[in-house]
A and B are shown apart, each in its own frame.
Chain A
Amino acid sequence: MTPVISVRGLTKSYGDFEALKGIDFELCAGEVFGLLGPNGAGKTTTIEILEGYRRRDAGEVEVLGADPATAGLDWRGRIGVVLQSSAMYENLTVAEQLAQFAGYYEHPRPVDEVIGLIGLEEKRDTRARRLSGGQRRRLDLGLALVGDPELIFLDEPTTGFDPGARRRAWETIRSLSGLGKTILLTTHYLDEVEQLADRVAVLREGRIVASGTVQELVGGALATEIRYRRNGEFVVLETDEPTRVLHELTTAAIERGEELDGLEVRRPSLEEVYLSLTQAEPE
């Protein structure tokens, strides 16, 4: 199957600053792919090159079989874009706004169906300026969706949300995925990709430093910690083979007839994995 997005050796500099130092990844149809990284890692540069807003310096990029830098209006009809900041006409209602954008596409999704998808039925006839931040973001999603695109780009869809609003946005994004859409999403929240993405690439300083499923990242990034207390002091063992180490440890303790105080086996938390992936190594 040909990939929906294919990126090879992509580089981009702004003056002396190398924003992207050669990245590669692919997205298959129907997949939700997360581009994870801290601010300034190159996420928005990447997504805006794929959307056709920015020119690349080098590398090969193909999105829906075309080069975004030269793709035409038909190609634009097949993608949906949510920018990092909400952008909409403040004086139009939710329904009017969606109808205006729907008019740009050959085969738009019916406006009321989109309103249902984004859960704004109650706000149908409310002007954008009176919506809350979370509601605006969902309308943003609706505007990206109204053309019934095959591929949707979401640039930090939940940054700055309270937990409830994030959950509702996640629900909406999941429902898009349920419609069979391919989704590329950027975020700096690991729990967001854990909730939404099938696969993840972690960007740091313009390079992809890790990729795979969230489980692979969490499993492979950091050693498991085994802790217990001996004579009132914590002993911490870090290991990639927790089963063997734990077995040896407990066997020895049983032979000595000791109890291991406060014995604990810890998998690294998402937070720790994220920090270890996105911050420069201490050495």
Chain B
Amino acid sequence: MRLFRHELRSQLRLYGRSRELAFFTFALPLIMFFLLGSVYGNDRIKAEGNVRAADYLLAGMLGYGAIATGFAGLSIMLVIRRESGILKRVRATPLPAWAYVVALLCTTLIAFALEAVCMSAIGRIFFHTHVHNLFSLALALLLGAAAFTTLGLALTVLIKSAEGSSAVVNAIYLPVSFLSGAFFSPHSFPAALKAIANALPLVYVIRLVRDIAVHNQQIWDRPGDVAVIAAWGLAGAIIAARRFRWEPQEG
């Protein structure tokens, strides 16, 4: 446990130091929320039960933040560390593998928690958003972000090089965010796109968050969504546990 605490402190410091990463995965969702909120935050969305667009958007952007921080940020950072040989070097020390990985996941979740707080604050200050059921909401966000972190671990298995990591990751999580209705309501999307979105986890995270924050439900009212998200997270964890590599691609 001493090693874990030491590693968690170290990882938090490292996270704070990596500006590029912090911008793309942490600040960008906040900026996007501000911009989109300024464009249509005061509308009403008829197709979604005439809710205020800002409330609706906040839920979507929280989902987007979860995938950006948990999935995209974590996997890019890990691939860079793996390919530069840092992970290999850490493996030569007495630090247990679990302590390293769990510290990294906790760091990511803490960063996302901070982002969620900032996002809610922006919503409140600029767009007068209102969220219901904070406890359920926090649980839902934790579940979603945790699932994305294990999927982020699993994704590192597929990425071969540090150079390719942000290209591959962006090519996945940006379209997924779009399809899943993070930026605006997907009700007018063609059926084919909806079908694709329904095969992916983010749509369930966003729906769960919306049902809680906007439609005043509790997380336990939506066991189906919870199960789908948990299954994705579990699948990511299994792939990561079996296939995660500590060494760079070559030698």
Q: Show the binding face of A for B, using Cβ within 8 Å.
A: 44, 51-53, 73-74, 76-77, 79, 81, 83-89, 91-92, 96, 100-101, 103-106, 143, 147
Listed A/B pairs (7) with beta-carbon separation below 8 Å: A76-B93, A76-B94, A87-B84, A88-B86, A89-B86, A91-B17, A147-B94
A104 in contact with B88 (CB, 8 Å): no
A83 in contact with B85 (CB, 8 Å): yes
Residues on the B chain within 8 Å of A105, using CB:
93-94
Q: How long is the Cα–Cα vector from A92 to B85 in the complex, in angstroms? A: 16
B10 in contact with A103 (CB, 8 Å): yes
Residues on the B chain within 8 Å of A86, using CB:
85
Residues on the B chain within 8 Å of A73, using CB:
94-96
Q: How long is the Cα–Cα vector from A79 to B92 in the complex, in angstroms? A: 8
A87 in contact with B89 (CB, 8 Å): yes
Give 1 or 0 for each of B8-48: 1 = CB within 8 Å of chain A CB: 00100110011000000000000000000000000000000
Q: How long is the Cα–Cα vector from A143 to B14 in the complex, in angstroms? A: 17
A77 in contact with B94 (CB, 8 Å): yes
Looking across the interface, which residue of chain A has its beta carbon closest to that of B91?
Answer: A53
Q: Which of B91, B93, B96 meets A101, CB within 8 Å?
A: B93
Residues on the B chain within 8 Å of A52, using CB:
92
Q: How long is the Cα–Cα vector from A101 to B96 in the complex, in angstroms? A: 13
B3 within 8 A of A: yes
CB distance from B2 to the nearest CB of A (A): 8
B251 within 8 A of A: yes
Chain B interface, >50% SS class: helix
B251 in contact with A84 (CB, 8 Å): yes
Residues on the B chain within 8 Å of A92, using CB:
13-14, 17
Chain A interface, >50% SS class: loop
Residues on the A chain within 8 Å of B7, using CB:
103
Interface residues of B in 49-78 (CB under 8 A from A): none
CB distance from B78 to the nearest CB of A (A): 13
CB distance from B94 to the nearest CB of A (A): 4
A103 in contact with B3 (CB, 8 Å): yes
B88 in contact with A53 (CB, 8 Å): yes
A104 in contact with B93 (CB, 8 Å): yes
B89 in contact with A83 (CB, 8 Å): yes
Residues on the A chain within 8 Å of B128, using CB:
none
Interface residues of B in 234-251 (CB under 8 A from A): 247, 251
B6 within 8 A of A: yes
In the A-B complex, the 10 residue pairs with the smallest Cβ-Cβ separation, listed nearest first, are: A87-B85, A91-B17, A81-B92, A77-B94, A103-B6, A104-B93, A73-B94, A104-B95, A87-B89, A76-B94
11 additional contacts, CB 8 Å, given A87-B86, A87-B89, A105-B93?
Answer: A52-B92, A73-B96, A76-B94, A87-B85, A91-B14, A100-B10, A103-B3, A103-B6, A104-B6, A104-B93, A143-B89
Residues on the B chain within 8 Å of A51, using CB:
92
CB distance from A39 to the nearest CB of B (A): 11
Q: Which of A77, A81, A83, A91 meets B18, CB within 8 Å?
A: A91
A74 in contact with B14 (CB, 8 Å): no
Looking across the interface, which residue of chain B has its beta carbon closest to that of A127?
Answer: B17
A85 in contact with B18 (CB, 8 Å): no
A83 in contact with B93 (CB, 8 Å): no
Known: A91-B18, A92-B17, A100-B10. A85 touches B85 (CB 8 A): yes
Residues on the B chain within 8 Å of A106, using CB:
94
Q: How long is the Cα–Cα vector from A87 to B7 in the complex, in angstroms? A: 17
Q: Pick from B85, B93, B96, B247 the residue with the most CB of A within 10 Å.
A: B93
Known: A53-B247, A91-B18. A104 touches B85 (CB 8 A): no
Q: How long is the Cα–Cα vector from A104 to B16 in the complex, in angstroms? A: 21
Q: How long is the Cα–Cα vector from A74 to B88 in the complex, in angstroms? A: 17
CB distance from A43 to the nearest CB of B (A): 12
Looking across the interface, which residue of chain A has its beta carbon closest to that of B5?
Answer: A103
Residues on the A chain within 8 Å of B92, using CB:
51-53, 76, 79, 81
A44 in contact with B251 (CB, 8 Å): yes
